[in-house]
Structure 1
Amino acid sequence: MKFLKEFKEFAVKGNMMDMAIGIIIGAAFNKVIDVLVKKIFMPPLTLMTDGLNFQDQKYVMRDAVTNAEGQITVEEVAIEYGVLFETFLDFVIVGLTVFLVVKAMNRLRSKAQDPKNEVVATPKDIELLSKLTDLMEEQNALLKGK
């Protein structure tokens, strides 16, 4: 019974919900990046390389063998480096996108934490710490003056 109560508290407090939201947004973000790479970036690259489709690029180590009826008796063995290139491009785009989002969030956070910036509302804890720091500096100046 205690286990179920603890699980209910865990799920209701938001930990599980935050994780679920992150996973759902991550999956949707993955779909966006997949479309961005396959439908936006790869076609111009294919055009620049004279119709070369990167997914089809491979180094064949052993050709497939077929019998008289056309059935494959021995599978082809190949290194598909085109898929690796496309996956690497996906990774670079995801990394760059995440970097830009984090950079923008950090910029907004630093503006929000600056108590002298009146454009963005400063959180109360930062504002109180700033006032405390100002009072301590004022007190130190008075003590040095004596």
Structure 2
Amino acid sequence: MAIMKEFREFAVRGNVVDMAVGIIIGGAFTTIVKSLVTDVLMPPIGLLLADVDFADLFVVLKGQGSFATLAEAQAAGAVTLNYGLFINNVISFLIVAWATFLLVRSLNRMKRKEEEAAPVATPPTPEIPEDIILLREIRDSLKPRA
């Protein structure tokens, strides 16, 4: 039972919960980026490159015949090297990495501004005992005589 208690303490710690939320949001963000790459960015790039669909760029490693699309090759049972899908995934990664960089950069800037704007806390002055105050007054009054 001690291990269950320890696990519960670990699981409900703030950092673990924040990490879980980040992973969930990251998964959703990855889906959006994948759609952005596949459905928005790659068609115009393929059009600029003479109607090339990156998803259909592949090399048949084992199988007979020539195939116009990757789906046809896979339906025929051909073994393929799908470098077009790899290119799509590299572009997706670069977009996610760039967006993450911009997010972290903006958070760091906000944090720096908050630190600069925060007032500097001055340490409290210690209470000086009355006898020290009296001794200082005596010292100060004796200075003009010297």
Pair in the same fold by TM > 0.5: yes
Larger radius of gyration: 2
| Cα root mean square deviation, aligned | 2.4
CA shift for structure 1 position 26: 1.2
Structure 2: distance between partners of 1:20 and 1:92: 23
My pick for the range that moved more, 5-14 or 18-27, is 5-14
Deviation string 1:47-92 (CA, Å, 9 cap, x unpaired) is: 2123211010112234337xxxxxx9x8423322111111111111
| Higher relative contact order (Cα pairs below 8 Å, separated by 6+ residues) | 2
1:127 aligned partner: 120
Runs of 4+ deviating beyond 3 Å: none
Gaps of 5+ in 2: 66-73, 124-146
Structure 1: distance between partners of 2:3 and 2:111: 38
What amino acid does structure 1 have at the position aligned with 2:47? L
2:115 aligned partner: 113
Q: Percent identity?
A: 36
Deviation string 1:104-144 (CA, Å, 9 cap, x unpaired) is: 111111111103xxxxxx3xxx732xx46xxxxxxxxxxxx
Q: Is the 8 A contact 1:59 1:80 kept in 2?
A: yes
Q: Is the 8 A contact 1:64 1:75 kept in 2?
A: no
Q: For residues 15 and 114 of structure 1, do their structure 2 counterparts lie closer, same or farther at Cα, with a shift above 3 Å needed?
A: closer
1:103 aligned partner: 105
1:60 aligns to what SS in structure 2? strand
Structure 2: distance between partners of 1:8 and 1:63: 53
Deviation string 1:19-69 (CA, Å, 9 cap, x unpaired) is: 22121111111111111111221121122123211010112234337xxxx
What amino acid does structure 2 have at the position aligned with 1:77? V
My pick for the range that moved more, 88-97 or 42-51, is 42-51
Q: For residues 1-146 of structure 1, what are the structure 2 equivalents within 5 Å? A: 1-64=1-64, 75-115=77-117, 122=118, 127-128=120-121, 131=122
How many residue pairs are counted as aligned between the two chains?
114
Structure 2: distance between partners of 1:53 and 1:92: 19
2:120 aligns to what SS in structure 1? helix
1:96 aligns to what SS in structure 2? helix
2:52 aligns to what SS in structure 1? coil
What amino acid does structure 2 have at the position aligned with 1:91? F
